A and B are shown apart, each in its own frame.
Chain A
Amino acid sequence: MSTSVTFDRATRIYPGSDSPAVDALELEIAEGEFLVLVGPSGCGKSTSLRMLAGLEDVTSGRILIGDRDITHLRPKDRDIAMVFQNYALYPHMSVAENMGFALKIAGVSKSDIDARVLEAARILDLEPYLGRKPKALSGGQRQRVAMGRAIVRQPQVFCMDEPLSNLDAKLRVSTRTQIASLQRRLDITTVYVTHDQVEAMTMGDRVAVLKDGLLQQVDTPLGLYDKPKNAFVAGFIGSPAMNLGTFRVEDGQALIGEARVPLPRSTVGALTTDRVQLGFRPEALVPSSAEDAASFPVEALVIEELGSDAFLYGNLIGDDLRADHVVARVAPRSVPAKGTKVWFSIEPGRLHAFDVETGDALPTD
């Protein structure tokens, strides 16, 4: 039943606005794929999803489900089920009625509806609550009813608009895995919107990063993590975020604080100015000593001990300081004291370089 979804230069310009909320989005989502749309608020991720669901007009371009052009179809003719951020359950209907409502409208027989609702309720552990009204449920249960309403339909595509953002942190983590495994089991193409990059990384087969209505990069979670196409993606994906700073370049070496970090020849060759934006992940920083010319001192301001990990937040010390804060992963349970000066160097091959003007990634091979 599962089908692919294609955004073909789909654009949405809100009436009275000049700049598009979604600008020529080109995206192919394979059959049964779990694609996550992620980005900061106002990046157009929800608008893209709502365009797919038919809740938002498409100004130009096309959207296809399989080979079917659904750009201008009404929502009900698209065979899509959606899970809303605030669940949007019908308050006057019981859980069972909520879940079976779409089938009832489609004219499915009562016994079929009951069977499918019961099956979905079994999958989602909702059997004891089928007769209750939404207001008698907890937040997590409501979220599951919203999921149930979607899966009962057996649609071609699931649309999920930040379905976990109203749950508390602990429930969010467990529901996250439940949704991901449910999706694998049902094998239904899913488009999932979130602003939380951890959700994006953990749930998606592929992740699409949007900013200001423009698609920045689509790749697997690790692809985004290891090979960000630009500085925005680099800074957005990963927690704690990648360290990004602009540094002066002299003789093929970047001046990071007191350190002179040699840049790969390909990077230097691609530079257009004497400055470069460098990125290095917290775990790419390795403890070093003052003797190493490529190492730089960091003044430890805050140490976060997480048990399995520890992160050091500090200031780069040096005259030509352009990175505000530096985060480094350090060995847990033997962390440096606050205020001490710690020397780090960047693990070879784990340095990212970006153009200062455009933010585009520069080659680092």
Chain B
Amino acid sequence: MTRLLPAGALDPADTTGATASDVRPGRVRGREDRSRLASIALHGTLVLATLVALFPVLWILLSSFKPANRIQTSEITLIDSPTLDNYRAVLFDTPFPTWFLNSVVVAAFTMVIGITMSATAGYALSRFNFAGKRGLMWVFLITQMFPVAILIVPIYTIMANAGLINTKASLIIAYCTVAVPFCAWMLRGYFDTIPQELDEAAALDGLGPFGTFYRVILPLARPGLAVTAFYTFLTAWGEVAYAIAFMQTRDNLTLGAGLQQFVPQFNPQWHLLTAGSVLILIPAAIVFFFAQKHLVAGLTAGGTKG
């Protein structure tokens, strides 16, 4: 309703059931108006939700510094004779460093290959008209509907036929099948926001389609690429199911699968698991740190008007 009404007047044409107080100017409720009780309830809920989200991570972090025999006790302590023994044990007495390296390689390749494929596919979907474009977009959507549990067996068969079982390549390919369709969709949406005139200007300036993509569009798509990079990295970094299925020797395991080795059904070694879990967070945090630097708005500002 854009008509100006005198204070407190009811708009005779208003049939939406609004009362006089709804249209009276000056009665907009600001945040200062919230009652004390509502404020407490609201903030209480937020604090609680934050605690629930943070607790497992915090608990693992605290536990990782406890002596091995103090982790599983009935008494609840936050800090209990802190020690670095768990970290020492994980790093020097287990294959953890090998798994870590495996994970770095797999995640890095997944990230690079995944971004390359999804960025080029997303650009093609955004800019070019080709036969089967709609079909391809449907395929990208539909493949995301199948849960990993269903896909493991067929993909295992494919990998086995290709002789790739127990290699890092099998994991990289499998992770790309998860990440690429999603990222291609996402990047397509991002490329759509970059004005098409920039492509045309680049074409007139002498660039071919790939040059346009690489020198004009990609630099402007940095925020979208950063998000997809982080997503593809995480897809590979923490994954367990494929890694357990495809990797058959202990030395070839990646981190997610490797950590599970610490907690078999009998005799779980929680001190190794907690220390390993904390260590596995660090690279993810580093990747996030670099990715978020590129999450800046307004990269395309000023290029076009209207």
The chain A residues found within 8 Å of chain B, CB to CB, are: 53-55, 74-76, 80-82, 84-92, 101-102, 105-106, 133-137, 139, 142, 149, 153, 165-166
Instruction: Tell me whether B268 is interfacial, beta carbon within 8 Å.
Output: no
In the complex formed, the residue of B with least CB distance to A136 is: B302
Chain B residues 273 to 302 lying within 8 A of chain A, measured CB to CB, are: 298-302
Answer whether A84 and B299 are a contact pair too, CB < 8 Å, given A92-B219, A139-B305: no
The chain B residues found within 8 Å of chain A, CB to CB, are: 195, 197-198, 200-208, 211, 216, 219-220, 298-306
Cβ contact within 8 Å between A84 and B200: yes
In the complex formed, the residue of B with least CB distance to A167 is: B305
Most buried by A among B205, B219, B301: B205
Cβ contact within 8 Å between A166 and B305: yes
Which residues does chain B contribute within 8 Å of A153, judged by CB atoms?
205
Cβ contact within 8 Å between B204 and A76: yes
Which residues does chain B contribute within 8 Å of A105, judged by CB atoms?
205-207, 211
Q: Secondary structure at chain B's binding surface: helix, strand, loop or mixed?
A: loop
State A135–B204 Cα separation when bound (angstroms): 22
Give, as a whole number of angstroms, the nearest-CB distance from B191 to chain A: 14
Which residues does chain B contribute within 8 Å of A106, judged by CB atoms?
206
Give, as a whole number of angstroms, the nearest-CB distance from B93 to chain A: 50
Cβ contact within 8 Å between B299 and A86: no
Cβ contact within 8 Å between B208 and A166: no
State A91–B301 Cα separation when bound (angstroms): 6
Cβ contact within 8 Å between B302 and A80: no
A-B contact pairs, 9 of them (CB 8 A): A54-B203, A80-B204, A86-B195, A86-B197, A90-B201, A91-B303, A92-B299, A133-B302, A134-B302
Cβ contact within 8 Å between B204 and A90: no
Give, as a whole number of angstroms, the nearest-CB distance from B226 to chain A: 15
State A344–B197 Cα separation when bound (angstroms): 51
Most buried by B among A91, A102, A105, A165: A91
State A89–B205 Cα separation when bound (angstroms): 12
Contact of A75 among B203, B298, B299, B301 (CB under 8 A): B203
Q: Secondary structure at chain A's binding surface: helix, strand, loop or mixed?
A: loop
**Known interface pairs A89-B303, A90-B303, A105-B211; 8 further A-B residue pairs with C-beta atoms within 8 A, sorted by A's residue number:** A75-B204, A76-B205, A82-B200, A88-B195, A88-B201, A91-B303, A137-B302, A139-B305
Cβ contact within 8 Å between B304 and A76: no
Which residues does chain A contribute within 8 Å of B204, judged by CB atoms?
53-55, 75-76, 80-82, 102
Which residues does chain A contribute within 8 Å of B207, judged by CB atoms?
76, 105
State A166–B302 Cα separation when bound (angstroms): 13
State A101–B198 Cα separation when bound (angstroms): 13
State A87–B195 Cα separation when bound (angstroms): 11
Which residues does chain A contribute within 8 Å of B195, judged by CB atoms?
86, 88
Cβ contact within 8 Å between A88 and B302: no
Give, as a whole number of angstroms, the nearest-CB distance from B210 to chain A: 13
Query: Which 9 A-B residue pairs are closest in the complex by CB-CB distance?
Result: A135-B302, A91-B303, A88-B197, A134-B302, A86-B304, A102-B205, A88-B201, A76-B206, A105-B206
State A151–B300 Cα separation when bound (angstroms): 24
Which residues does chain B contribute within 8 Å of A74, judged by CB atoms?
203, 208
Answer whether A86 and B305 are a contact pair too, CB < 8 Å, given A92-B219, A135-B298: yes
